[in-house]
Amino acid sequence: MLAGLIIIVSGKVTGVSFRSSAKKEAEKLGLNGYARNIETEKGEAVEIMIEGEEEILSEFLAWATKGPKTAKVKELEFNYREYTGEFAGFEVVEE
């Protein structure tokens, strides 16, 4: 079943290639969406919006709990959402 997933990852996740690593992982799994840095009340974080097969999204979510070796994920929040099909590929959004 196709679905969407919004993930907010906080901790040491900016300046450690988290977004580019998310792109590589998403492309490896055949998922579409984006990753961008955001500011939250807890500090800097990475927001990932991703779409694809629900079971593959679960694989990506498992990866996101750790991220690249240079990251230190402190907290991860996620919400599933309806699939929209609005993304073609995966993009790293530069601020």
Please write the tens of the pLDDT for every residue from 30-50.
999 999 999 988 889 999 999
**Does the annotation mark 37 as catalytic?**
yes
pLDDT grade, residue 78 (50/70/90)?
very high
* pTM, two decimal places: 0.94
- Exposure letters 64-91 (e unless 16+ CB within 10 A, then b): beebbeebebeebebeeeebeeebeebb
Range list of H helices, the chain: 18-29, 54-64
pLDDT of residue 42: 81
Catalytic residue among 32, 37, 79, 81: 37
Percent of the chain with pLDDT over 70: 100
pLDDT of residue 66: 95
Q: Please give the mean pLDDT across all residues of the chain.
A: 95
Q: What amino acid is encoded at 81 in this protein?
A: R
**Spatial separation of the C-alpha atoms in residues 49 and 93, rounded to whole Å:** 11
**Does the annotation mark 19 as catalytic?**
yes
